[in-house]
């Protein structure tokens, strides 16, 4: 999103802060209601005390997160630079306590595991780049924008509804990174032509593309392989 809009990642964090808070508030309410429905109880008071002791013992490990947010929002550094500095702070902070101290062997093992974990992310980014290139070369984004505008009759509300439906349907089974690139190039131009703020338009597209993973349609499609296996 920061790359598409040519803004700092800190601006994206600030814009997405309120939706993130609302998401976790809604998540807490649903878990609480489900717990009441199932008759579940919270942890005993003794375990709560242990959790606080564990948090107090490992609170210094939250410093790298603060460092990352500081360089992204306050300093306005790039993602790569902020990530590199926060990784270095992890190594330094780990030396504060003997239990969490990282030696040379653990650091090397961490680099190996980190390199292996980037394989899947690299594949996602590569596929997203291919999708964006195809959309840019074929002009699909501008064509879809014209179709959306024609179907909506120039109404921003109807365009938002159409964009949300398309995002929820085509976002099923896709990764978050490719979702934003794909839908941002398709539905974004239509929303921008109707006067929607660029950052708000991309957050709207990203939200409904991600929501596709929790819709009844996704749940039904995800059960098809199991249904076929049962029939066989």
* pLDDT value at residue 208: 77
- Read off the pLDDT of residues 130-185 as tens digits, 9 standing for 90 and up: 766 776 677 665 666 677 777 777 788 888 888 777 777 766 655 555 555 555 55
Q: Which of 1-5, 14-18, 69-73 has the lowest mean pLDDT?
A: 1-5
Question: What is the Cα gyration radius of the chain?
Answer: 22
* pLDDT value at residue 224: 46
The long-range contacts involving 140-148, CB below 8 angstroms and separated by at least 24 positions, are 140/185, 140/186, 141/185, 141/186, 141/188, 141/189, 142/189, 144/186, 144/187, 144/189, 144/190, 145/186, 145/187, 145/189, 145/190, 145/193, 146/190, 148/187, 148/190
* pLDDT value at residue 177: 54
- 201 contacts 186 by C-beta, under 8 angstroms: no
CA distances from 146 to 2, 157, 171, 190, 200 (A): 25, 16, 21, 7, 20
Write down the mean pLDDT value for the chain: 75
How far is 175 from 210, CA to CA, in rounded Å? Answer: 9
- 86 contacts 71 by C-beta, under 8 angstroms: yes
- Written as one string, the DSSP assignment of 57-123 is HTGGGGHHHHHHHIIIIII---HHHHHHHHHHHHHHHHTTSTTT---HHHHHHHHHHHHHHHHHHHH
* pLDDT value at residue 170: 65
- Indicate the pTM of the whole model: 0.60
- 153 contacts 202 by C-beta, under 8 angstroms: no
Of all residues in the chain, what percent carry a pLDDT higher than 90?
1
* pLDDT value at residue 49: 60
pLDDT band of residue 228 (cuts 50, 70, 90) is very low
* CB-based burial label for 145 (10 Å; 0-12, 13-18, 19+): buried
- Read off the pLDDT of residues 178-203 as tens digits, 9 standing for 90 and up: 555 555 555 567 777 778 888 888 88
Query: Higher confidence at residue 127 or residue 172?
Result: 127
* pLDDT value at residue 181: 57
Q: Torsions phi, psi of 230, nearest 5?
A: -65, -40
Angle, alpha carbons 30-15-177 (nearest 5°)? 80
Query: Higher confidence at residue 42 or residue 186?
Result: 42
């Amino acid at each position: 999103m920061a790359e598409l809009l040519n803004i700092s990642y800190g601006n994206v964090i600030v814009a997405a802060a309120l939706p993130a808070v609302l998401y976790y508030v809604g998540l807490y309410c649903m878990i609480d209601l489900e717990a009441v429905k199932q008759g579940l109880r919270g942890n005993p008071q003794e375990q709560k005390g242990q959790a606080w002791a564990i948090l107090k013992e490992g609170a210094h490990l939250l410093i790298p997160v603060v460092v990352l947010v500081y360089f992204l929002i306050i300093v306005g550094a790039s993602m790569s630079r902020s990530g590199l500095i926060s990784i270095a702070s992890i190594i330094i902070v780990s030396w504060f306590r003997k239990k969490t101290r990282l030696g040379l062997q653990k650091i090397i093992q961490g680099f190996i595991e980190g390199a292996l974990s980037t394989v899947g992310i690299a594949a996602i980014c590569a596929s997203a780049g291919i999708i964006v290139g195809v959309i840019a070369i074929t002009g699909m984004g501008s064509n879809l924008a014209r179709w959306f505008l024609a179907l909506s009759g120039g109404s921003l509300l109807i365009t938002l509804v159409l964009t949300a439906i398309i995002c929820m349907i085509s976002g099923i089974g896709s990764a978050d990174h490719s979702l934003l690139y794909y839908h941002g190039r398709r539905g974004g131009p239509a929303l921008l032509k109707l006067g929607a703020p660029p950052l708000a338009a991309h957050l709207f597209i990203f939200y409904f593309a991600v929501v596709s993973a929790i819709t009844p349609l996704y749940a039904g499609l995800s059960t098809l392989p199991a249904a076929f296996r049962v029939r066989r």
